[in-house]
Structure 1
């Protein structure tokens, strides 16, 4: 079960760029909570705290309970903006999530046991096509990552969504059987057949 992290926030009655800039000058980050057919709630967060949480990783796949002046909101981050120069958070969007609800999230793909692949040990290259995948899953059961086992992988092998076993209750949100990665032979091994075919041109 996904651990729910707690965040404290204060209500931000005013919206707009001027009010947002004032919050940032005060060391806070403007944010909004929306969804579930309820009115949006504008809030502000402690800059140091939210900055630390974002850079700790898995921010967009973490369930939060935000305490806004005593009222608690169960949410998942949907988007955040960073300063293009200094990389500190400028704004965060949170989506309300009721108990038992499903959410669509992007999780990272990890390629494990690369040392057990004969092709990679023989000089081959792992060509990663998808670094993340989109999943539909219960908000309480968001996987931290999806693992692809490369044990025994040989030259020319490819790895597809359909071959990956997902946790219970989790399904692919995308369309089709996407390729996650392929094993590519060393450059020299590919050039020899190409050179042999050149006289035909």
Structure 2
């Protein structure tokens, strides 16, 4: 999914200037990185929010059109209004084709309904992580990572090391020897015992 956002340079700085921008339907922001000077920018809130609400906006290489010049960026930080659900400030980092990125990527869980722990044991899936830090070159950045639960049994967990990653992508936590659990299946209290009692009971004549 290709996402392009448009910004213009922001001349006025400070809290008062940012407040005036927000009242005018604009979002103050900053763009930095790639050995270039940081630039204060502003966005149209409505146009920005239309893209912001897509999952891919948070874990993809975005095209920033700044005063007619386009460059590749990733979302780095943002602040939301606690009540109005509007973007108060947003930060983007420029990317270099030759430098690895550290980006949080969403996890998509598949085959939960056919997992033995669910289908045979009546277990409940718990998503321990919903996103994970990855390291890769910009060209290899995935929009999401699939976590296949097709073989997961009750009482067991699936860990980062068991997830198949696209070529050129690695989990940052694994590089630091932290093989975190991603999802698990637990059996509701009495569920397994009840099944066993039913299986062991003699057939009625």
Fold shared per TM-score above 0.5: yes
User: Offset of 1:70 from its aligned partner?
Assistant: 2.3
Determine whether 1:132 maps to 2:131: yes
Given that 1:29 and 1:45 are in contact with CA atoms closer than 8 Å, whether structure 2 keeps it comes out as: yes
- Provide, for residues 16-74 of structure 1, a one-character-per-residue CA deviation record: whole Å limited to 9, x for no partner: 11111111122111110011232210111111011111112222212222222223332
- Report SS of the residue matched to 2:190: helix
User: Which residue does 1:165 correspond to in 2?
Assistant: 164
CA distance in 1, matches of 2:69, 2:116: 56
> Per-residue CA shift, 1:120-156, capped at 9, x if unaligned?
1231111221111111122222212222222232222
Q: How many angstroms apart in 2 are the aligned matches of 1:7 and 1:181?
A: 34
CA–CA separation in structure 2 for the residues paired with 1:68 and 1:127: 42
| CA RMSD across the alignment | 1.8
Structure-2 residue corresponding to 1:106:
104
Counterpart selection for 1:86 from 84, 87, 94: 84
The answer to whether structure 1 residue 187 and structure 2 residue 189 are counterparts is yes
> What is the aligned partner in structure 1 of residue 9 from structure 2?
11
Structure 1 outlier segments of 4+, above 4 Å: 189-192
- 1:49-60 to structure 2, matched below 5 A, reads 49-60=47-58
Is the Cα–Cα contact under 8 Å of residues 100 and 140 in structure 1 kept in the other structure? Answer: no
Structure 1: distance between partners of 2:10 and 2:162: 47
The TM-score with structure 1 as length reference comes to 0.87
Aligned length: 190
Counterpart-to-counterpart distance in 1, 2:65 and 2:151? 49
- Structure 1 gaps of 5+ residues are 193-201
Q: Distance in 1 between matches of 2:144 and 2:46?
A: 26
Unaligned 5+ runs, structure 2: 195-205
Counterpart position of 2:22: 24
> Normalising by the residue count of structure 2, what TM-score does the alignment of the two structures yield?
0.85
Q: Secondary structure, in 3 states, of the residue corresponding to 2:113?
A: helix
* Residue of 148, 158, 178 corresponding to 2:180: 178
Deviates more, 1:116-125 or 1:84-93: 116-125
For residue 195 of structure 1, what is the aligned residue in structure 2?
Answer: none
Confirm or deny: 8 A CA contact 1:60 1:79 kept in the other structure: no
